[in-house]
Amino acid sequence: MNRSLARSLKSARTMNRRSLITSAGLLLLIAGCGFSEYEARLAETKKYYAYLERIEQSLAPKWTVPGNLMDVRVPQQFVAIPPAPPIQKEDGTFEQPTIDPRQPDYLNLTFPELFGAWESTFQVGKGNGVTENRKGFIYALSNYWELAGEHATDAGEFVNILKTYLSEKLQIPPVDEAPQLHPKVSPAYQTQSAFDVCSFKGKEIDGTNYTFEVYSKKNGSVIGVLVVVLPEGIENAQKVNERIPMMLESFNFTGVPPKAGSDKNAPSQGNSGVAPTSGF
């Protein structure tokens, strides 16, 4: 073999080795990028399932108004207050009972268009290590049925009228009025919703100060409201304050208003005979 041919073969072998090294390097680089992406996806999946587990440990099962008019998951320690069934009259129509057990019995206060109510008992610190049991409440309201009746023209002012009514009954002006987005944190595994929020603080009930928080949001012309009534001084171990934002994430209601003239007392209207309490 002449020297020229030997040099050519040596050069070819060198180029092949370099090509193999370069190709191997590219494959390792590509594999590294894919592995990093896999790790990122795996970490995100773990976060998502941790979020779902936290929700399941924090919130009660979904409560739904028949006809899918509204649903929500309240903090786990709250129990639904059952409504009184409507009374069927001789002509076949229905009317609401005079007394609604879901309405507050601790104040001269009647929530309008009440769809649901829940209660729970909390330990409240009174100082010097002393605690007392005090009840807390959640109320779900909506202007839904107002849109079908004689109050349809005022239905859009439902929240403003409610705030004025609470201010008069509680003798306390609303504070901390501001919009909020829920979920607040990122990544958000639920679609963010805009809430209008305000508080009525320092209402004394049986020797304990209470705060009334009003959370409202819109879905078209339909407005949904959650009113959270809690005693001040709840111990952190009861976790209600961290569960309320989770509840807000779960709050949904229809955006399709009822037909004009629909009867909210009739079981056929998707209430199974359980109609919300009338307006103010």
Asked whether residue 167 falls in the same domain as residue 32, the answer is no
Q: Comparing C-alpha atoms, which of 57, 112, 61 is closest to residue 227?
A: 112
Distance CA 111, CA 179 (A): 22
Position 23 scores a pLDDT of: 56
Asked whether residue 135 falls in the same domain as residue 229, the answer is yes
Distance CA 81, CA 138 (A): 10
Position 214 scores a pLDDT of: 98
Asked whether residue 68 falls in the same domain as residue 178, the answer is yes
What are the 10-residue block averages of pLDDT along the chain, 280 residues in total? 46 50 53 68 77 91 95 97 85 80 95 97 86 95 92 90 97 95 75 94 95 97 98 88 94 94 63 54
Position 40 scores a pLDDT of: 72
Asked whether residue 37 falls in the same domain as residue 84, the answer is no
Final residue of a structural domain among 33, 58, 83: 58
Q: Comparing C-alpha atoms, which of 222, 218, 242, 220 is closest to residue 230?
A: 242
Asked whether residue 41 falls in the same domain as residue 162, the answer is no
Please name every residue paired with 226 in a beta bridge, in sequence order, or none if there are none: 140, 215
Place of tokens 């057990």: 101
What are the residues whose beta carbons fall under 8 Å from the beta carbon of 238, sequence distance 6 or more? Answer: 77, 122, 123
**Which letter does DSSP use for residue 231 in this model?**
E
Token pair for residue 166? 């609470």
Position 215 scores a pLDDT of: 98
Final residue of a structural domain among 19, 39, 58: 58
Asked whether residue 26 falls in the same domain as residue 144, the answer is no
Asked whether residue 94 falls in the same domain as residue 41, the answer is no
Q: Comparing C-alpha atoms, which of 78, 94, 17 is closest to residue 234?
A: 78
Cα 194 to its chain centre, rounded Å, is 11
β-strand 193-205 against 87-88: which pairing, if any? unpaired
Give the total number of structural domains in the chain.
2
Distance CA 97, CA 84 (A): 7
Distance CA 231, CA 133 (A): 10
Could you tell me if residue 277 is inside a domain? no
Asked whether residue 66 falls in the same domain as residue 43, the answer is no
Q: What is the domain range of residue 11? A: 1-58
Task: Show the beta-strand stretches assigned E in 14-170.
Answer: 63-65, 70-72, 79-80, 87-88, 94-95, 114-127, 130-142
Asked whether residue 25 falls in the same domain as residue 164, the answer is no
Could you tell me if residue 279 is inside a domain? no
Asked whether residue 96 falls in the same domain as residue 30, the answer is no
Token pair for residue 116? 């649901």
Asked whether residue 52 falls in the same domain as residue 66, the answer is no
Position 45 scores a pLDDT of: 79
Could you tell me if residue 40 is inside a domain? yes
Token pair for residue 126? 């009174």
Final residue of a structural domain among 19, 43, 58: 58
Could you tell me if residue 275 is inside a domain? no
Do 142 and 155 touch, CB atoms closer than 8 A?
Answer: no
Could you tell me if residue 280 is inside a domain? no
Asked whether residue 46 falls in the same domain as residue 132, the answer is no
Could you tell me if residue 276 is inside a domain? no
Could you tell me if residue 150 is inside a domain? yes
Could you tell me if residue 96 is inside a domain? yes
Residue 217's CATH number:
2.60.120.1690
